[in-house]
Structure 1
Amino acid sequence: MSAQTVHAHAPERLPFIDALKAVGSQLIVLHHLAFYGPMSDWTHQLAPDVVGWFSQHARMAVQIFLVVAGFLAARSLAPDGQLRTARPLALLWQRFVRVSLPLMAALLLAMVCTEIARHWMAHDSIPAPPTLWQFVAHALLLHSLLGVDSLSAGVWYVAIDVQLYALLLGLLWLGRRLGLVAPLLVATLMLASLFHFNRDSGWDNWALYFFGAYGLGALAYWLSRADADRGATAWLAGMALLTVLALAMDWRTRIALALGVALALAWSHRSGWLFTWPRSRSLGYLGRISYGVFLLNFPVALVVNAWFTRYAPAEAGVQTFGVVVAWLACNLAGAAFHHGVEQRLGRLGRARAPAQALVAGTGSQRSRK
């Protein structure tokens, strides 16, 4: 999603990560189209296996963004394993602002879309009318922790992304403060997540639940640097082995996927493909607009569902065409939001950012299973 890495002064594209974001974001859009709204019920009649797969399994694409976010955060905050910034709280505030401002703009649009959809149809996928408290809780990224109903599907991930970033930043600061090897602290908490927290869904509003995948991404960066010592490959193999042991104790397909993505990132980084492949303008563009697509895909799809429910014939072929229209509309709306809102709001505070800081954003839909 907006798992985009941006230097404080000069952007740098990573084609392999752009491709991962592009594929992941499209899977999330298709998951929402299959899971929410009445059009998917009609499409299910034509292709039950396809709709069922997207409804139940495509949501695991969130693991792509968790791993990528950890990889980019390690690259930006501590490329050599040591925290670079002398102002971690300022960096965390900048991160919060750059993530939450586009979110608030998207939520305002989502509330408008919800009311339009409510005018055209009655369906359980339409959120209840919003309250001021709901919006404030979302703006503070506390809605999940406070048990506030979500105003849009997938918004939970934005809050988790900031939590994870803060947790990694805290571990890196603690390592520097105490003279410890910070990546070992990250590895320890990653294993605690994989062997304990991630196995208990009661933690799924907290960063500890997701730090297993996020930590895999961070370690994949540190252990795949071109200047890493000769033992880095052995450490990388050890990371993979410990993750497999966690899966042997409690199999989770989402964690197996996270491990696969982490190893792919490590390999692409070591080989240089991270910076050169694939050379696809389409994938690169879809990767750049992925955060906007993530933020707006649910409300836009809801409006298209409502229009086709109200005005189009109740036929499987017509309603399936509506799914295609919704998919295209989600991408067009995400592109417009990226250029018209996200980029402009993202410039706030960038000029005063520490010169070494990189900002990595993420997004996705909810996949806790």
Structure 2
Amino acid sequence: MLDQLKAFACLLIVLHHLAFYGPMSDVVFLAWPRLINELYDHGRLAVQVFLVCSGFLTAASLQKKSGLDWRQALPMVGHRYLRLVIPYLVALSATVLVTEWIRPEFNFASLSATPDAWQALAHVFLMEHLLGMESLSAGVWYVAIDLQLYLIVLTSFVLVNRFVARHTSLRANRVLWQVWLVLTLVSLVRWSLKDDLDIYGLYYFGAYGLGLLAFRARQSRIPLKGWLILTLMGLLALWVDPRWRVTTAWGVALLLAAAPERWFALPAVPGLWHKGVQRLSRISYSVFMIHYAVSLLVSAVVTAHWPESVLANALGMLMAVLGAVLAGAGLYRLTEQSPQDWRHWGLGVGMFMASVALAMKMSD
């Protein structure tokens, strides 16, 4: 089930960006306005699916990390950063060059400006939004938010362990889950209502925390209690401010908390569909990273040859999705299946900075 959720969210966010940034969707809109509007308005809900699943998987990975301290936590943060950033740097390198290559002939509104060295460095350290700089690709804000959320979870874990060490009558595991519950609730009913906080992980902790709590509910001796807590939290959040993104995150969390165990397992003899979904789930991050560069290339070709053809632009959108999956598979093999260490990070940074330098040269 997790594979199906991640695979579906992966395709939906690609389609959302195709609808949001155009230009192919602008032509397709003339024939299918409702479809494009739905992708434009609601396709971004895929992010909520990713956040909840990420929280769920983070909780699963930390369930045996009792006694976590800073000496253990800092290498974990470094490893998470490397896992996120190495594919991201390679994908950004491609996006920067594709953007600059097509700019002279296709002045799409979605094209980012030619980057400079400081903007490139900000992207390397996931600081571009905090510094108010333009992003070089679609959706890359999520990478920084994912790392912030992971850091929040590990920091709370370490601080709770230190607190409980001084108050031996308390159980660290119980206090930790109470802290995560409070953070999730406050995010749902307060932080996520303040748009000026959307560059910080606390804004998104509501959805992420629902994933954490969904895992807790599955591990609880009284699963119904955890499911009831999730239900009440969702109802309260929707009572405070009805929002589709809260409804989506809440629904996914309830599903993860209450689904039968067999829904999480592959069939004994997985068919072609199951293998395909599992594969797409595995490469979903790489697809997410590289899809914008692919969509720019396809948009340039379609706009050059069939700028007003609804059929050609509709097929172009489908080809962009397929191309993103194929390019994502290549990026996955190149980066996520390779050792994710600081040497490969250095290679990725070098490639990205060289791409930025070349883009600056091309813009002269």
- Please state which band the TM-score falls in when normalised by the shorter chain: 0.7 to 0.9
Provide closer, same or farther for how the CA distance between residues 277 and 17 of structure 1 changes in structure 2, counting only shifts above 3 A: farther
Provide closer, same or farther for how the CA distance between residues 213 and 313 of structure 1 changes in structure 2, counting only shifts above 3 A: closer
Residue 345 of structure 1 deviates from its aligned partner by 4.7
Which residue of structure 1 lines up, in the alignment, with residue 237 of structure 2? 246
Q: Distance in 1 between matches of 2:106 and 2:14?
A: 21
Q: Number of aligned pairs? A: 330
Is contact 2:92-2:136 (8 Å) kept?
yes
Provide closer, same or farther for how the CA distance between residues 224 and 116 of structure 1 changes in structure 2, counting only shifts above 3 A: same
2:128 is the counterpart of 1:143? yes
The C-alpha deviation readout for 1:198-226, integer Å capped at 9, x for no partner, is 1111110001100011111011111202x
**Where in structure 2 are the equivalents of 1:86-105 lying within 5 Å?**
87-105=72-90
Instruction: Extract structure 1 runs of 4+ deviating beyond 6 A.
Output: 347-350
Please give the secondary structure, in 2, of the residue aligned with 1:247: helix
Which residue of structure 2 lines up, in the alignment, with residue 336 of structure 1? 330
Provide closer, same or farther for how the CA distance between residues 83 and 248 of structure 1 changes in structure 2, counting only shifts above 3 A: farther
2:254 is the counterpart of 1:260? no
2:119 is the counterpart of 1:119? no
Work out which of the two has the higher radius of gyration on C-alpha atoms and give 1 or 2.
Answer: 2
Q: Distance in 1 between matches of 2:340 and 2:202?
A: 27
2:200 to 193, 200, 206: 206
Residue 119 of structure 1 deviates from its aligned partner by 3.4
Residue 335 of structure 1 deviates from its aligned partner by 1.1
Structure 2 gap ranges (5+):
165-171, 345-364
Q: Distance in 2 between matches of 1:277 and 1:47?
A: 38
Which residue of structure 2 lines up, in the alignment, with residue 41 of structure 1? 26
Q: Distance in 1 between matches of 2:266 and 2:117?
A: 46
Is contact 2:4-2:278 (8 Å) kept?
yes
**Where in structure 2 are the equivalents of 1:1-369 lying within 5 Å?**
16-79=1-64, 82=66, 84=68, 87-179=72-164, 180=172, 181-225=175-219, 228-230=220-222, 232-268=223-259, 271-276=261-266, 279=270, 280-312=274-306, 314-346=308-340
Residue 241 of structure 1 deviates from its aligned partner by 0.6
Quick check: which one's helix share is greater?
2
Q: Distance in 2 between matches of 1:83 and 1:214?
A: 23
The C-alpha deviation readout for 1:11-34, integer Å capped at 9, x for no partner, is xxxxx2111110000000111111
Residue 62 of structure 1 deviates from its aligned partner by 0.3
Residue 78 of structure 1 deviates from its aligned partner by 2.6
Q: Distance in 2 between matches of 1:256 and 1:157?
A: 20
Q: Distance in 2 between matches of 1:277 and 1:191?
A: 36
The C-alpha deviation readout for 1:161-213, integer Å capped at 9, x for no partner, is 00000000111111111114111111111111011101111110001100011
Q: CA RMSD in A?
A: 1.9
Q: Which moved more, 1:333-342 or 1:308-317?
A: 308-317
Is contact 2:157-2:176 (8 Å) kept?
yes
| Identical counterparts, % of pairs | 38
TM (norm. structure 1) is 0.85
Is contact 1:116-1:303 (8 Å) kept?
no
Which structure has more relative contact order (CA 8 Å, sep 6+)? It is 1
